[in-house]
Amino acid sequence: MAGSGRDRVVPRHMAAVAAAAVSLQLAVAPALAADDDDAPAQTYPNIYLDLRTSYGRTPAGVLSIGFASPTIAVLSRLRELAALPPLQAPTLPASQSVELDVPLTIDVNDRVSLYGGFSTTTSKSGAGWSSVDITSWNVGFQADIYRQDGGALPTLTLQTTLTRSVPSGPLATTSVNTVLEASYAFDADETRGVLAGVQFTTTAIDADRAAIRPNTIGWLGGYYQWDSNWKLTGRAGLQSFGGAELLRFTPIDAFTQPILRIDLDKMDDNDNRLFGITAQVSWTPKPAYQLTVRTPLYLTKN
């Protein structure tokens, strides 16, 4: 039996309510979707071991300092002098060294990084290589104190590292290495640009019988990053070292000489370094060479 016509007819006020609800849902759904798209993705700090393995060759009579903190280089060379026989002239022998830096690094965000770790070193200045020992620990930070972000002023980056040699002893050293670099990008993606910077290092020795003068480096440079995310950076400048003393001798004279550094890095799409290699030549005043390979091990990565 068919129902009555009244049962099949929807009341007008109910139809109006239903139409309003559908209209509201259609209007709100795109806004909700847009809000989901606009919500920032949750990010975590990058945490990694920024492993750096360096090999260096230094001619006789000079000290290799360069862009790295000079604490360990100076300390090892002064210890070589202290070990010479009393009647032998205090002349630094030619040497080779291999150093492994193991800093645990935390990129708090894309502007600030904190790090701390230790270094192990082995060297050869005579018949054979020395034992591999932990020779220092260090802590530091790097921060972009100003970002270009398409503006007219360059990005300014400040980096400071405190290094302490181990074990403690009469020739133990503490150094502070500070770098200020300006980077001006020519494009919004910051794939090409120019650099200018200065580095200042002071080193203190616990004993009064030795002294290490400040070291200053100023440079100009540039960088270019290809679509494949390989990045080439070059820096050329002058290094001025005040010299070093042991007892009444001045075994390492002051000098002002050129320095050159070239970096080749493989980056990912978020500008995280995957691999890097650095070649450095510093005239001190004879040329000293250093090759460094960077192999970061990421614990967390955005």
Most confident of 68-77, 104-113, 171-180: 104-113
> By percentage, how much of the chain surpasses pLDDT 70?
74
Thinking of the domain 47-300, which architecture would CATH place it in? Beta Barrel (2.40)
Order of all β-strands in the sheet with 249-252: 210-212, 244-246, 249-252
The Cβ of residue 135 has, within 10 Å, a number of other Cβ atoms equal to 20
Q: Which whole number is the average pLDDT over 202-230? A: 90
Q: Which whole number is the average pLDDT over 214-233? A: 96
What's the rounded Cα separation, in Å, for the pair 232 and 225? 6
| pTM metric for this prediction | 0.79
Straight-line distance from the first to the last Cα atom of the chain, in angstroms, rounded to the nearest whole number:
68
Q: Which whole number is the average pLDDT over 146-150? A: 93
Closest to 264 measured CA to CA, from 237, 297, 229: 229
Say if residue 290's pLDDT is above 80. Answer: yes
* Structure confidence at residue 72 (pLDDT): 53
Closest to 276 measured CA to CA, from 298, 260, 259, 291: 291
Say if residue 186's pLDDT is above 90. Answer: yes
* Structure confidence at residue 224 (pLDDT): 98
Question: For residue 86, what are the contacts with CB-CB under 8 A and spacing of at least 6?
Answer: none
Closest to 109 measured CA to CA, from 45, 190, 49: 45
Give the E-state strand segments of the chain in sequence order.
46-58, 95-107, 112-124, 133-146, 155-165, 173-185, 192-205, 210-212, 215-225, 230-241, 244-246, 249-252, 255-267, 273-283, 287-300
- Which tokens belong to 111? 């502007």
Name the least confident of 25-34, 108-117, 206-215.
25-34
For 33-79, write each residue's pLDDT tens digit: 444 455 455 578 999 999 999 998 888 777 667 776 555 555 565 56
* Structure confidence at residue 240 (pLDDT): 93
**Domain locations in the chain?**
9-38, 47-300
Name the least confident of 3-7, 47-51, 131-135, 213-217.
3-7
